[in-house]
Amino acid sequence: MTEFKMFEGCTIGNRIPFIEAASRKVFEKVGIETSQAAFSCCPDPTGMKSFDNNAWLTIGAMNLCLAEAEGKDIISLCNGCTNTLRGVQHQLKHDSLKKEKVNKELAKIGKEFKGTIDVKHFVDVLQEHLDKVKGSITKPLNGLKVACHPGCHYMRPAEWMESDDPMRPETLKKLVAASGATVVDYDELVLCCGSAVTNAYEEHGLANLKNKLDSIKNAGADIICVNCPACFQQFDTRQRDLSKKYEKEYDIPVLYITELYALAMGYSADEIGLKFHRTRLKSILEKYGL
Amino acid sequence: MSIDFEFRKLVMDFHQGSDLIKYCYQCSRCADNCPVTKVSADFYGTTGYNPRNNILNALLGYKDLIFTEDELIIWGCTVCDTCDEVCPQDIELTEIFTFLKNQSIEQGKGPEFIYSQAKAIFDSAKAIPSQPAIERRREQMGLPAIVIPDVNELQTLLKNIGAAKKLK
Ligand code: SF4
Ligand code: SF4
């Protein structure tokens, strides 16, 4: 059994750890083994990269070095972290000048980037274990209508994310379907959650979020399923602002795919800390006997 | 309005080995598919955020048209990478936009959250520093404590690269 280095990321690790709890429970059921490392911030592909691209490359490479030292692949719980680590790896492998420059800096702290390990998004690892997943489902979520939101950084840029499809992704839908739930299609599947622009220009961020959520509402979804903590927070915490601004009710519960799985694998809402969600899950959980 | 050749060279140099930006034929696929253009611009793209304009002005070296009072021109981008995907000329637009944002930071401009995140990473090696309440919650949920990263190493890197001095 291969063991991965767990890259939980800053947001999950230090703000919404209940998602890590559900993820670890699901990994255990499915037989995905992990261990920890002293990773720093990935760093953020929308924040630090915009601040200083060289810093983004160098810190990203520093994190890759930590996994290289143990000869283990990374499993990431976050779209942003996966995007950074895969992006840094891709750029350094395809641009010897950049690699030289980064390694010159890393040498000063006794490290060297070699490019010997792989970085995987946990969704892709779960997909490889789909039989095990199906075998662990004890409470199929029959009837639950789920709108999937894989998120931009899971699938783009295609050159380094190498997901199934950068504009028509299916993997998350397949994972959701394996839980017994019903995937509902909606027009704005690949539309960005708008997390980054909301931080800088709330007005535009909320207008974008409205486009996304109206589309999900029209499709009649009970919940939104995500695989990124930034998207999770955007949907979970900003629907209230949206309701206020547009005087229309937005309160669609949000579940991480691993939370959805944990429920379908028999864990209770309490065991995985669903009470820490801002959007209200109670009526949905009651309706489906969870 | 004047052409800044130095700026133009920096744009062309930023993405080593790829000078595809010069093949932009202003088809507007990028702007047509940009979620922020959709919610911020009028039909003719004269207001709001517009990736097509940015590519044109970057390629031509019209620095003054990019770095204006209105930072939305640069910072409106939400980094969804849709434009890269739909561009018929395979231009890596977001790489160019990363360069524009880096330049904006060099000038001491840019949104507050970018600076506060960079500062948090410099101080604690995490974009979101750990807090006692969350540490307790982790423990209650049966999660292992986060392994503390080497802040000194990270600070050494950021200082040597010259990123630390851009912090506010
Ligand atoms: S889609 Fe590509 S070619 Fe068309 S305007 Fe945008 S950058 Fe230029
Ligand atoms: S990456 Fe930026 S410019 Fe490109 S489509 Fe997304 S928001 Fe628009």
How far apart, in whole angstroms, are the C-alpha atoms of residue B72 and residue A200?
9
Q: Over the stretch B41-90, which tens digit does the pLDDT of each residue have?
A: 987 777 899 999 999 999 999 999 999 999 999 999 999 999 999 999 99
Q: Do B36 and B77 meet the contact criterion of CB atoms below 8 Å apart?
A: yes
Q: Do B27 and B49 meet the contact criterion of CB atoms below 8 Å apart?
A: no
Assigned CATH for B5-106:
1.10.1060.10
Alpha-helix runs per DSSP H in chain A:
9-14, 18-30, 48-51, 53-70, 79-94, 96-107, 122-128, 130-136, 152-155, 158-161, 171-178, 195-200, 202-218, 229-246, 257-264, 282-287
| DSSP-assigned states of every residue in A169-180 | --HHHHHHHHTT
| Residue closest by Cα to atom 6 of ligand 1 | B30
Q: Is B18 near ligand 1, meaning CB less than 6 Å away?
A: no
**Torsion from C-alpha of B11, B14, B17, B18, nearest 10 degrees:** -50
How far apart, in whole angstroms, are the C-alpha atoms of residue A70 and residue B111?
38
Q: Over the stretch A241-261, which tens digit does the pLDDT of each residue have?
A: 999 999 999 999 999 999 999
> pTM of the full predicted structure?
0.97
Enter the ipTM. Answer: 0.96
Binary contact (B157, A8; C-beta < 8 A) = no
Instruction: Check residue B1 and give its pLDDT.
Output: 76
**A182, A186, A179: which is closest to A260 by C-alpha?**
A179
Residue A286 structure tokens: 């009651």
Instruction: Check residue A287 and give its pLDDT.
Output: 92
Instruction: Check residue A1 and give its pLDDT.
Output: 59
How is chain B split into domains, by residue range? 5-106, 112-166
Q: Over the stretch A14-71, which tens digit does the pLDDT of each residue have?
A: 999 999 999 999 999 999 999 999 999 999 999 999 999 999 999 999 999 999 999 9
> In the beta sheet, which residues pair with residue A254?
A224
Q: Do A80 and A42 meet the contact criterion of CB atoms below 8 Å apart?
A: yes
How far does the centroid of ligand 1 lie from the alpha carbon of residue B30, in Å? 6
Q: Which atom of ligand 1 has the smallest separation from the CA of B23?
A: 3
Instruction: Check residue B125 and give its pLDDT.
Output: 98
State the Cα angle at A47 between A46 and A49, rounded to 5°: 75
Which residue is associated with the tokens 């995500």?
Answer: A226
Q: Which atom of ligand 1 has the smallest separation from the CA of B26?
A: 5
**A196, A211, A241: which is closest to B76 by C-alpha?**
A196
Q: Is the pLDDT of residue B19 over 70?
A: yes
Instruction: Check residue B13 and give its pLDDT.
Output: 85
Q: Do A9 and A43 meet the contact criterion of CB atoms below 8 Å apart?
A: no
Please provide the average confidence, as pLDDT, over all residues in chain A.
Answer: 97
For residues A226-232, average pLDDT? 98
Q: Over the stretch A79-88, which tens digit does the pLDDT of each residue have?
A: 999 999 999 9
For residue B129, say if its preceding peptide bond is cis, omega within 30 degrees of 0.
Answer: no
How far does the centroid of ligand 1 lie from the alpha carbon of residue A53, in Å? 23
Residue B67: other Cβ atoms inside 10 A? 19
How far apart, in whole angstroms, are the C-alpha atoms of residue B111 and residue B93?
20
- Strands across the sheet containing A119-121: A33-35, A3-7, A74-76, A119-121
Higher pLDDT, A152 or B20: A152
Q: Is the pLDDT of residue B98 over 60?
A: yes
How far apart, in whole angstroms, are the C-alpha atoms of residue A152 and residue A46?
12
- Taking CB atoms and an 8 Å cut-off, how many pairs form between chains A and B? 193
> In the beta sheet, which residues pair with residue A35?
A5
| Residue closest by Cα to atom 6 of ligand 2 | B80
Instruction: Check residue B16 and give its pLDDT.
Output: 57
Is residue A76 helix, strand or coil? strand
> In the beta sheet, which residues pair with residue A223?
A146
Q: Which atom of ligand 2 has the smallest separation from the CA of B30?
A: 5
Q: Is the pLDDT of residue A289 over 90?
A: no
Report the largest interatomic distance among the alpha carbons of chain A, rounded to a whole angstrom: 58
Scan residues 107-136 of B and list those with Cβ closer than 8 Å to A. 110-111, 113-115, 117-118, 121, 125-131, 134
Instruction: Check residue B64 and give its pLDDT.
Output: 96
Instruction: Check residue B151 and give its pLDDT.
Output: 98
Q: Compute and round to an integer the Cα radius of gyration of chain B.
A: 19
Task: Classify the phi-psi angles of A121: left when phi > 0, otherwise alpha if psi is within -120 to 50, otherwise beta.
Answer: beta
Q: Which domains does chain A have, with CATH numbers?
A: 3-122 (1.20.1050.140), 139-287 (3.40.50.11810)
| Residue closest by Cα to atom 3 of ligand 1 | B24
Is residue A226 helix, strand or coil? strand
Q: Do B143 and A12 meet the contact criterion of CB atoms below 8 Å apart?
A: no
Residue A31: other Cβ atoms inside 10 A? 10
For residues A80-106, average pLDDT? 96
Question: B68 at the A interface (CB within 8 A)?
Answer: no
Q: Over the stretch B23-50, which tens digit does the pLDDT of each residue have?
A: 999 999 999 999 999 999 987 777 899 9
**A236, A161, A152: which is closest to B33 by C-alpha?**
A152
Q: What percent of chain A has pLDDT over 90?
A: 98
Of B19, B32, B87, B92, the one to substitute when testing ligand 1's pocket (max ligand atoms within 8 A of C-beta) is B87
As a residue count, chain A comes to: 290
State the Cα angle at A23 between A68 and A253, rounded to 5°: 135
